């Protein structure tokens, strides 16, 4: 009995401790207007708790992610966002519980901000469509403001201006909001640039926007207070996000209300009595500044709301995942009977025949780069355990078990385990040594017998943008390495050769200046195969991509001569060799095959050949042992397929149809009769002679500990950032100090939305572009709203929708339809369009399908059948419309003197369009307006610098007329450039370049300093993606361009009231300035 009582006490104590453990990562708190209750998000659900603290109770319990709660003014209803149908829609729920009601149905994400003063409607932000007159760039980073009735129904647009966290004043005559000028990690901190948010107030009667804040950093989340005479909001003006206050009649003198350090204050809300509510360091606080009689903030401290949460998890932490695809790092055993691979960071081995699978590792950390030992008795791989990459070997313990896939007991041994980052292990062909990468940019060789390690290559020959990104290969005799050679200061890669003993110098085998990569030893070490874009079909832009070919270099003259034999000559040589072998009557015991690699350096550069007859998007290639057949995995139009070329006859054909979405890798079996191919996460065995393929069964399962895996992924992100961030200064941040802070939140993370947000907050501490994390939630059954390709009359409120404009090229812009402005679309597929339903409900899942429209034109009705387009297709139509309007305006304002081109991104497609427009349509113009506003980046700045800076030095002419000039592929006349806050990455590089090389004037708004290289990576849970820059860009004066804002020569702001009515002030000013130069 005493034992039972002790056990019961222990259980009760454990439950009590659980219930009393302070929850962290309490996000999106919102206090009720009556000040009695706080609703917040925790582990993907909404919870409510008394404002004084206590035990929280769940308001929603759903597998979806519910967040961003907003109170009605009567404190009875909560609006929130939830992804229950694949994207975030607006829902409402009674505060005392009940069934949540879906209010919006569009497939774009939509987020609630406030209720109207009468509680009849909810205002929210989303990207549906601007009004027809708005000249704002049509992009997903520029949302609109809408409202929907609390009982549901047609969505009404309030503002076409990007406005977030909007709140009404008491009588609804004004809206206060923070702006959104472009795309950036919303959790970035300490950021001062033109793209940071500012606070605005909008007068709903005069339709005038007034900017209230002038701080160069972040101001956001505003709330009317004190009888609408002041605002509370969040700002980084005093170093970290804190609550600030400003008076509407004196906004230039804001005051800090709180003074938290290190971590940001987030999610400000306020009760009617002035009590503020917000989160800080994963917990919830309240503060009533009106109780302070001595000034803003002084004498009154925020009070932490003590919250207890005692609830079961809504999903199992331990989950069983089927291993049915998504595998990588394929390796084939020497006998060809086993295949090893990585799935979700674990090592597995399957039988080639029979479908048996064995899980080799079982860790929350990830394993990579698995391979078999030359004798097939061991597996070698790297594992990211113990806060660094280490190298392990696993062997079968029982001699009676010859195969890994059927083994019972395995023994794992740490081969290289220290504080360095050690990965990409590779056995030497004789199995005596192991090559590996240390600390990303050092190639070393370890000898297990002596425990000695030698260095072969360093950062003078290797460069890394992330983990596991080096390429090297042992020679068959284990005396040499081929590797991807990165020469300091030179962007294109070459193929390097280095002695494995580490004593020799690197030989640059290719010396092409093109991109040469992934060399393989072939023909028993007598030659190498590699890939190069030297002869490939290239982008028009030199910075763009290029197709590649397969090449071979022969290390001896004898092997080269043999390769050049014709089909007939090769057949004769083979026949003679076979006869000689039969006539040998000595019957000597067959000598051990000589694997010594001979490299005749003299004339080596002449002994090379292109093997493919057509350039393509190559993924991998193999040559058979006779050297007369090439097999390559490539893509021409659709997916990747396996092709073959007879190197004697050049006969080329598609050997096996795969239509793989992504590239893959291939390896031979021992006899080189079969090719094993890993593509699209699957493994196939292909007969090289016939092309017949067999799928390798990769069944099995993995027992996933979600929390442990998440903890590892956090560690990986933090540590890799520490090791690879482009500058050792970390922008002045003590990176080490943030790890324990954010690590403490992990037990309270409920799903990958929250985990991605946590990592974005962590990476946001670095104040750097190209950073953050995202979660791509699977949504096979999610809504997909189709588009009719029209602008709707936003003022029309009756049954049906009224057409304001038919978009050129859209579904309704067809010959014979003759649908004009003013036409009323009464019904879709026989259903009357009524104001009590969201229009998106009639169009979901109808893209590309025949849809019947009932039209009313005056008093006449008719029916037409059309095919709506997808949202991305509509976006392209809107973009083309925007560009055409700008071109027409420039033509009109300049009386035909100037041309106009917009460059949306830095890629070959954009360059081709630019070239076509400038050198085709506008070739006879006297100047060109180059608009790069909202340019999302890429790699094109050098091409544009060359193209737009042409200087004529020669004229092709007769006495009567010219027939061209040099350089005839460059613009040689004046230009002016437009840029704004949303230029990103290479878009900023362009703005910087315009001023650096004095390429005309720059007009618009300051461009944030984001000219930096991205380093994105998918985690082992590949629905998660994250990144920080591993490589920066410096100006010629030696300063980094990251966070170095480029100020325009002529600063022009597009007033919200003006641009929404069809006037682009920045474009007009650019035309005015360039006209001064060309006259």
Q: Which residues are catalytic?
A: 770, 985, 1042
On whether the CB atoms of residues 448 and 415 are closer than 8 A, the answer is yes
Residue 579 burial class via C-beta count within 10 angstroms: exposed 0-12, middle 13-18, buried 19 and up: exposed
Q: Which residues pair with 548 in a beta bridge?
A: 616
* Parallel/antiparallel/unpaired status of strands 1050-1051 and 1002-1004: parallel
Q: Which helix (H) or strand (E) holds 286?
A: strand 283-287
Rounded Cα–Cα distance for residues 76 and 83 (Å):
23
Q: Which among 599, 596, 655 is positioned nearest to 622, based on CA atoms?
A: 655
Q: SS3 breakdown of the chain: % helix, strand, coil, rounded to 5?
A: 15, 35, 45
For residue 443, give the H/E element and its range.
Answer: strand 442-447
For residues 230 and 250, give the distance between their C-alpha atoms in angstroms, rounded to a whole number: 9
Q: Which of 973, 923, 918, 932 is nearest to 950 (CA)?
A: 973
Helix (H, G, I), strand (E, B) or coil at 556: coil
Contact 909, 941 (CB under 8 A): no
Long-range contacts of 204-213 (CB under 8 A, 24+ apart): 204/172, 204/173, 204/174, 204/175, 205/173, 207/1057, 208/1057, 209/161, 209/1055, 209/1056, 209/1057, 212/176, 212/246, 212/248, 212/251, 213/246, 213/251, 213/254
Report the run of H or E that residue 49 belongs to, with start and end: strand 45-50
Please report which residue ranges of 809-855 form alpha helices under DSSP H. Answer: 840-843
Q: Which residue has the tokens 């609830």?
A: 311
Residues in contact with 316: Cβ distance below 8 Å, sequence separation at least 6, in sequence order = none
| CA distances for 275 relative to 35, 232, 271, 282, 1030, angstroms | 7, 11, 5, 19, 44
CB 683 within 8 A of CB 695: yes
Please, how many CA atoms are within 13 Å of residue 304, restricted to the half-sphere of its CB? 12
Closest CA to 77 of 126, 125, 32, 26: 32
Distance CA 1014, CA 74 (A): 47
User: What Cα–Cα distance (Å) separates residue 451 from each residue in 71, 91, 432, 443?
Assistant: 67, 63, 11, 16
**DSSP readout, 216-274?**
SS-EEEEEEETTTTEEEEEE-TTSS-EEEEEETTEEEEEEES----SSPEEEEEE-TTS
Enumerate the β-bridge partners of residue 706. none
Please enumerate in sequence order all residues whose Cβ is within 8 A of that of 4, keeping only pairs 6 or more positions apart, or say none: none
| Closest to 774 in 3D by CA, of 1027, 1028, 465 | 1027
Classify strands 975-979 and 1002-1004 as parallel, antiparallel or unpaired: parallel
> Would strands 851-857 and 824-828 be described as parallel, antiparallel, or unpaired?
antiparallel
Residues counted in the chain: 1079
Task: For residues 284 and 50, give the distance between their C-alpha atoms in angstroms, rounded to a whole number.
Answer: 12
């Amino acid at each position: 009995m005493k034992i039972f009582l002790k056990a019961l006490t222990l259980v009760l104590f454990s439950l009590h401790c659980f219930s009393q453990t302070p929850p962290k990562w309490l996000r999106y708190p919102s206090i009720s207007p009556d000040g009695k209750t706080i609703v917040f998000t925790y582990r993907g659900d909404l919870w409510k708790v008394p404002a004084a603290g206590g035990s929280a109770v769940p308001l929603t319990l759903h597998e979806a992610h519910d967040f961003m709660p907003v109170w009605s003014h009567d404190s009875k209803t909560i609006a929130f966002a939830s992804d229950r149908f694949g994207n975030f829609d607006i829902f409402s729920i009674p505060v005392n519980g009940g069934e949540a009601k879906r209010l919006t149905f569009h497939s774009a994400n939509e987020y609630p901000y406030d209720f109207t003063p009468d509680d009849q409607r909810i205002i929210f932000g989303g990207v549906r469509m601007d009004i027809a007159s708005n000249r704002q760039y049509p992009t997903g980073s520029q949302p609109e403001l809408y409202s929907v009735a609390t009982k549901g129904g047609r969505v009404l647009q309030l503002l076409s201006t990007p406005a977030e966290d909007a709140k009404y004043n008491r009588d609804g005559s004004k809206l206060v909001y923070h702006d959104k000028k472009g795309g950036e990690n919303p959790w970035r901190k300490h950021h001062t640039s033109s793209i940071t948010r500012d606070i605005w107030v909008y007068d709903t009667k005069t339709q005038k926007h007034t900017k209230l804040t002038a701080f160069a950093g972040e101001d956001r989340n505003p709330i009317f207070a004190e009888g609408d005479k002041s605002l509370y909001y969040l700002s980084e003006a005093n170093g970290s996000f804190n609550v600030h206050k400003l008076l509407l009649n004196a906004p230039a003198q804001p005051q800090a209300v709180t003074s938290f350090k290190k971590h940001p204050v987030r999610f400000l809300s306020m009760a009617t009595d002035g009590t503020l509510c917000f989160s800080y360091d994963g917990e919830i606080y309240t503060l009533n500044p009106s109780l302070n009689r001595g000034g803003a903030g002084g004498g009154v401290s925020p009070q932490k709301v003590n919250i207890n949460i005692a609830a079961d998890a809504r999903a199992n932490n331990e989950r069983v995942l089927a291993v049915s695809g998504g595998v990588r790092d394929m390796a084939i055993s020497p006998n060809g009977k086993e295949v090893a691979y990585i799935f979700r960071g674990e090592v597995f081995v399957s039988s080639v025949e029979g479908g048996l699978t064995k899980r080799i590792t079982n860790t929350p950390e990830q394993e990579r780069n698995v391979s078999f030992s030359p004798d097939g008795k061991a597996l070698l791989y790297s594992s990211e355990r113990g806060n660094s990459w280490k190298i392990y070997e696993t062997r079968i313990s029982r001699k009676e078990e010859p195969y890994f896939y059927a083994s019972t007991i395995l023994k794992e041994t740490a081969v290289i385990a220290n504080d360095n980052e050690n990965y990409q292990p590779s056995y030497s062909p004789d199995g005596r040594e192991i090559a590996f990468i240390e600390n990303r940019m050092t190639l070393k060789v370890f000898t297990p017998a002596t425990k000695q390690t030698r260095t072969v290559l360093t950062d003078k020959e290797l460069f890394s943008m992330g983990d596991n990104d080096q390429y090297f290969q042992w020679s068959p005799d284990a005396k040499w390495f081929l590797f991807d050679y990165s020469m300091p200061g030179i962007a294109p890669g070459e193929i390097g050769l280095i002695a494995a003993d580490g004593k020799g110098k690197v030989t640059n085998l290719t010396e092409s200046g093109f991109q040469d990569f992934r060399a393989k030893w072939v023909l028993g070490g007598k030659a190498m195969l590699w890939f190069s874009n030297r002869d490939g079909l290239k982008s028009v832009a030199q910075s763009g991509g290029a197709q590649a070919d397969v090449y071979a270099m022969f290390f001896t003259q004898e092997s080269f001569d043999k390769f050049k034999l014709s089909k007939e000559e090769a057949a004769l040589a083979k026949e003679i060799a076979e006869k000689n072998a039969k006539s040998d009557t000595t019957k000597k015991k067959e000598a051990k095959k000589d694997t010594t690699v001979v490299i005749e350096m003299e004339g080596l550069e002449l002994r090379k050949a292109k093997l493919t007859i057509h350039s393509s998007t190559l993924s991998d290639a193999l040559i058979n042992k006779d050297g007369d057949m090439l097999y390559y995995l490539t893509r021409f139009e659709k997916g990747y397929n396996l092709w073959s070329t007879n190197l004697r006859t050049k006969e080329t054909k598609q050997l096996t149809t795969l239509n793989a979405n992504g590239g893959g890798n291939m390896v031979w079996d021992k006899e080189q009769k079969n090719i094993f191919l890993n593509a699209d996460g699957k493994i196939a065995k292909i007969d090289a002679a016939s092309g017949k393929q067999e799928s390798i069964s990769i069944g099995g399962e993995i027992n996933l500990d979600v929390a442990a895996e998440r903890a590892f992924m956090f560690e990986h992100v933090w540590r890799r950032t520490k090791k690879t961030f482009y500058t050792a200064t970390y922008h002045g941040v003590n990176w080490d100090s943030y790890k324990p802070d954010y690590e403490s939140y992990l037990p309270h993370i409920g799903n990958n939305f929250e985990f991605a947000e946590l990592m974005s907050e962590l990476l946001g501490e670095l104040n750097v572009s190209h950073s953050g994390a995202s979660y791509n939630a699977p949504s096979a059954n999610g809504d997909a709203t189709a588009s009719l390709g029209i602008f709707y009359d936003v003022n029309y409120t009756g049954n049906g929708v009224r057409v304001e404009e038919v978009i050129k090229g859209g579904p309704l812009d067809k010959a014979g339809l003759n649908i004009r402005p003013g036409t009323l679309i009464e019904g879709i597929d026989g259903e009357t369009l009524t104001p009590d339903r969201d229009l998106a409900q009639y169009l979901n899942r109808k893209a590309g399908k025949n849809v019947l429209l009932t039209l009313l034109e005056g008093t006449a009705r008719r029916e037409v059948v059309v095919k709506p387009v997808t949202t991305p297709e509509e976006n392209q139509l809107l973009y083309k419309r925007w560009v055409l309007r700008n071109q027409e305006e420039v033509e009109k304002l300049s009386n035909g003197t100037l041309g106009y081109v917009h460059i949306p991104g830095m890629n070959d497609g954009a360059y081709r369009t630019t070239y076509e427009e400038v050198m085709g349509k506008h070739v006879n113009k006297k100047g060109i307006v180059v608009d790069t506003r909202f340019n999302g980046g890429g790699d094109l700045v050098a091409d544009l610098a060359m193209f737009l800076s042409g200087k004529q030095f020669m004229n092709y002419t007769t006495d009567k007329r010219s027939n061209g000039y040099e350089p005839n592929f460059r613009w040689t006349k004046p230009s002016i450039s437009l840029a704004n806050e949303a230029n990103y990455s290479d878009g900023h590089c362009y703005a910087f370049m315009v001023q650096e090389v004095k390429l005309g004037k720059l007009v618009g708004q300051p461009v944030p300093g984001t000219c930096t290289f991205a380093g994105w990576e998918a985690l082992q849970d590949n629905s998660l993606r994250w990144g920080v820059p591993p490589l920066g860009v410096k100006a010629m004066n030696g300063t980094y361009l990251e966070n170095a804002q480029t100020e325009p020569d002529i600063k022009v702001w597009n007033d919200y009231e003006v641009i929404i009515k069809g006037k682009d002030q920045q474009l007009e000013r650019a035309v005015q300035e360039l006209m001064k130069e060309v006259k």
